[in-house]
Amino acid sequence: MSRRLLDDQDALSAFRARLLAWYRQNKRQTSWRDSGNPYHVWISEVMLQQTRVDQMAPYFERFIRAFPTLQSLAAASEDQVLKVWEGLGYYARARNMHEAAKRMAFELGGRIPDTYQGLIELPGVGQYTAAAISSIAFDRDHPVLDGNVTRVLCRLLRIEEEPTRAQVKARLIAAGEALLARGEAGDFNQAMMELGARVCTPQSPFCPTCPVGGWCRARAELDDPASLPRKVSRKQKPHYQVAAGLIRKGDELLIAQRPAEGMLGGLWEFPGGKQEPGESLPECLVREIREELGIEIEVGARLTSVDHAYSHFSITLHAFAARYVCGTPEALGCAAWRWIAPEALDDFALPRADRLIVEFMRECAQQMELFGEKK
């Protein structure tokens, strides 16, 4: 039965009916998809591009409270959007979403496009997101291909090649098209994603309880269905040492805004940068502050160090107390700079590693006498 699935109309109909019945009985309630509100579907799908459902849920609720409509999001400043997004990471998603909101509000009649083509032309919307929004919010017939669906398809069809290869991806998209329950694409896509998330899991698929196990080649033919999909051989990520300064002038601290383009673009941080070979961390900090802001500082004690992993590398961020000595700050290697009262740090969107430093320093504030509110 399994070999003929894609070519057998009866088998396809039975597969769709079984999967949809399982989904409708077992689906988890989600405020973003169940509402049927295209704005909610769009926001949630952008968040889900890099974040798991359970992690994303509280951020979604917070975001919708802050920006309940497309128009309110379009009217917000980028700083406000980044601040509400803070903690979700991959900040390009937030900047693109904000750009897309402005385009929809001011150029596209204040509505979210209801077609795949209209959606994919928006900033930050790729094939997966356009297919997910068009099918879930508007029941358009487009199959989604995210990590969960890719895993299910590789196992169902016993696809042994790495799914990241272009040829294999094309085969997966064609399989998704063939399997899709037309007219019920929203539920069908969610059913495939839910199957991957809850039954056909990465390490331990629950094959005996799988609603479509009767059509699955990996289950029928392999000792270990979890051996699919084939893993891409990954290079080890580089690790960098980074120094940052909590630079004081009187009661104020200096913060700098990262350039809009690039990683963590538009976020504010304690200035500093990557250690070069042969230099100590304090030397690194003095050099970075000179290059980034054109001022001289005196570096004091190391306050704390935090580890943080990004998608392609990881860092240890070492935070140093530092004292402003001379010079007028200029935005040489950053977008902007400000002297602020330490309490005002909460008004700025900070990267996760810098936020950890703030939390650590607040815990230690009485001893360090650094943060004004606890003096």
**Binding region for ligand SF4 (CB under 6 A):** 152, 155-156, 199-200, 205-207, 210, 212-213, 216, 218-219, 225
Comparison of 211 and 266: residue with beta carbon closer to ligand SF4: 211
Residue 72 vs 201, nearer CB to ligand SF4: 201
In the bound complex, what is the minimum distance in angstroms from residue 202's beta carbon to ligand SF4? Answer: 10
Cβ closest to ligand SF4, residue 221 vs residue 279 = 221
- Three-state DSSP state, 44: helix
What's the closest the beta carbon of residue 213 comes to ligand SF4, in angstroms? 4
Q: How far apart are CA 249 and CA 251, in angstroms?
A: 6
Structure tokens at 17: 């009916």
310 touches 263 (CB < 8 A): yes
Residue among 192, 161, 196, 194 nearest 177 (CA): 192
Q: What is the CA radius of gyration of the chain?
A: 25
As measured in angstroms, the least distance from the Cβ of 195 to ligand SF4 is: 7
- Is residue 284 within 8 Å of residue 274, measured between CB atoms? yes
Contact partners, residue 357, CB within 8 Å, separation at least 6: 244, 246, 270, 303, 304, 306, 317, 319
Please identify, using beta-carbon distances, which residue of 212 and 317 lies nearer to ligand SF4: 212
**Cα–Cα distance measured from residue 178 to residue 196, given in angstroms and rounded to the nearest whole number:** 18
Q: Minimum Å distance from CB 17 to ligand SF4?
A: 16
Give the residue with the Cβ less far from ligand SF4, 95 or 155. 155
Minimal distance in Å, beta carbon 5 to ligand SF4? 11
- Minimum distance of ligand SF4 from residue 228's CB (angstroms): 8
Pairing state of beta strands 314-326 and 239-249?
parallel
Beta carbon nearer to ligand SF4, 159 or 199: 199
The secondary structure of residue 235, as a DSSP letter, is P
DSSP summary character for residue 329: -
**Is 177 tagged catalytic?**
no
Residue 82's alpha-carbon distances to 51, 90, 167, in angstroms, are: 16, 11, 37
- For residue 329, report the phi and psi dihedrals to the nearest 5 degrees: -55, 140
| Active site amino acids | 45
